Amino acid sequence: MLYNPQDREDKRKINFVIAQNFSNLPIEAEIPPHLQAFVSRARLVDMLDFDRVDFKKRISLSPAKKETVASKWKMVKIEEIGRLVSGKRPKGGIGNFSKGTLSLGGEHIQKGEVDLRKKKFVPVAFAEKLGDARVKKGDILMCKDGALSGKVAFVRESVEAVVNEHIFILRIQNKITNSYIFHFLASQEGQRSLTKIITGAAQGGINSTNLKRLKIPLPPLSIQKKIISECRDTEQEVVEAQAAIGATKEKIEREISGVEGKKVKLSSIAVTNPSKREIVDNPMDTVVSFIDMASVSRDGFVQKTANKRLKELKKGSYTYFKENDIIIAKIAPCMENGKCALVSNLTNGLGMGSSEFHVVRALQEVDSKFLFYFLNRENIRSEAQKKMTGASGHRRVPISFYENLKIPLPPLDVQKATIARVEKLEKAIEEAQQVIDESKPKKEAILKKYLLVH
């Protein structure tokens, strides 16, 4: 990677790229793709800091980057309208603290919001010493490094919290401007600008110098207000859609939990983890659907499949299933996250997938969709979690938990009537979800209408 002692002109090595800068030869336009994670070019002027009165002749390995947006309005640097603050954690980390002041990191920035479902803490006395790193209503939080670099969240309500060393607080005094700046930075154009100032090898990050110098469009307050108002209308539609989804899911739960019938063990009405011996006579070039864990949605469906031949999967410890089987994640945290699906439209009616799936196959007296609705519920997952075995990080639900579940078994016509009612409710969820899915493009259109040159 660095040097070829047999050929100093080897263009595949880093030394060749460096040597070009000390020769009179034309510099190659492109750094080879396999070296781009380790080598980049920058102007010397961007590697020196001219902002200090006491100029230091130090060369920074994180050169300043200047990015601009094609806007009809004045472009201003972040440092001209706000200031950056960052925090830290106690020496030794925060794993041992179960109470205190909330400590926010990259994992708490989710889809533009501050997600406090997984709380982490620092001691109150430690937080009090962090001063400006204490979070305030109206702050913009930004991930500064790693895979989440540039992701932002808006602090809509007061919260007693501080940020750790992986987060910038962008604090702007004007309450209108700070809301507008958040909407811009969260937009495609804003995220594109932030991505371009990420520096460093591998995943890299955003340094304060580059972020302060980032230029963004700053329209008059009257335009900012229009942008905020229209974006808030879109956000309100999302809030109402989310509430509708929550209420409809509760209706589905009532439908399923209200089913009456003789209770029987699941093992008496379904086969669990069917054997691969069922397909031992199938030709090895038979094409089947392959489903990995990532392809199963938290909302009860398979997002994508890949066609593979049986011979490609023969040596793996993959799970076998077929059309209309139910697959359920057995390992934490996938099971708790709701990875459960009724598989359909499989290539040749057959499928293989992650070894971390349990499979449930309904027998004649129970409709597979009715059984799926019964199993794909939060209260079932809560009970399954209590029965998990294994070491931390590798805890799994034993198949015996599902085999011993007591299922109400009404006649098939009642099952089908229940399915019809639930499918109607699911349709309402799909419509509400469409409102949520369309909200981001609507916001993009709002920003484009007011900001960008057409």
Pairwise CA distance, residues 104 & 185, whole Å: 19
Between these two residues, 50 and 143, which has the higher pLDDT value? 143
**pLDDT band with cut points at 50, 70 and 90 for residue 315:** confident
Whole-Å CA distances, 311 to 27, 271, 280, 318: 48, 25, 11, 12
pLDDT in tens, 407-443: 999 999 999 999 999 999 999 999 999 999 999 999 9
CA 3 from centre of chain: 39
170 burial level (CB within 10 Å; 0-12, 13-18, 19+): buried
pLDDT of residue 97: 85
Average pLDDT of the residues of the chain: 89
Query: What's the rounded mean pLDDT across residues 265-284?
Result: 95
Query: What's the rounded mean pLDDT across residues 273-279?
Result: 95
pLDDT of residue 53: 41
Residue 15: is its pLDDT beyond 90?
no
Give domain limits for the chain. Answer: 70-218, 220-249+417-454, 262-409
Percent of the chain with pLDDT over 90: 75
pLDDT in tens, 210-240: 999 999 999 999 999 999 999 999 999 999 9
Residue 51: is its pLDDT beyond 50?
no
Can you read off the two tokens belonging to residue 397?
Answer: 């639900």
Check: CB of residue 162 under 8 Å from CB of residue 103: yes
Out of 84-98, 287-301, 322-336, 361-375, least confident range: 84-98
Residue indicated by tokens 């919290």: 161
**pLDDT band with cut points at 50, 70 and 90 for residue 18:** confident
CA 165 from centre of chain: 21
pLDDT of residue 214: 95
Pairwise CA distance, residues 376 & 372, whole Å: 6
Cis amide leading into 411 (omega within 30): no
Query: What's the rounded mean pLDDT across residues 160-171?
Result: 95
**Does domain 262-409 bear CATH number 3.40.50.1820?**
no
Q: Which CATH class is domain 70-218?
A: alpha beta
pLDDT of residue 173: 79
Decide if 70-218 and 262-409 have a common fold: yes
**pLDDT band with cut points at 50, 70 and 90 for residue 52:** very low
Pairwise CA distance, residues 120 & 131, whole Å: 19
Residue 25: is its pLDDT beyond 60?
no
Q: Which of 299, 293, 288, 296 is nearest to 345 (CA)?
A: 288
Q: In the beta sheet, which residues pair with residue 262?
A: 409
pLDDT of residue 311: 93
**SS3 state of residue 8:** coil
Residue 284: is its pLDDT beyond 80?
yes
pLDDT of residue 392: 77
Percent of the chain with pLDDT over 70: 87
Residue 66: is its pLDDT beyond 70?
no
Query: What's the rounded mean pLDDT across residues 273-283?
Result: 94
**pLDDT band with cut points at 50, 70 and 90 for residue 64:** low
Query: What's the rounded mean pLDDT across residues 103-108?
Result: 94
Query: What's the rounded mean pLDDT across residues 255-272?
Result: 96
Pairwise CA distance, residues 138 & 176, whole Å: 10
Residue 99: is its pLDDT beyond 50?
yes
pLDDT of residue 93: 80
**pLDDT band with cut points at 50, 70 and 90 for residue 92:** confident
Query: What's the rounded mean pLDDT across residues 200-209?
Result: 84
Residue 36: is its pLDDT beyond 70?
no
Q: In the beta sheet, which residues pair with residue 141?
A: 153, 169
**pLDDT band with cut points at 50, 70 and 90 for residue 42:** low
pLDDT in tens, 114-155: 999 889 999 999 999 999 999 999 999 999 998 899 999 999
Pairwise CA distance, residues 333 & 94, whole Å: 21
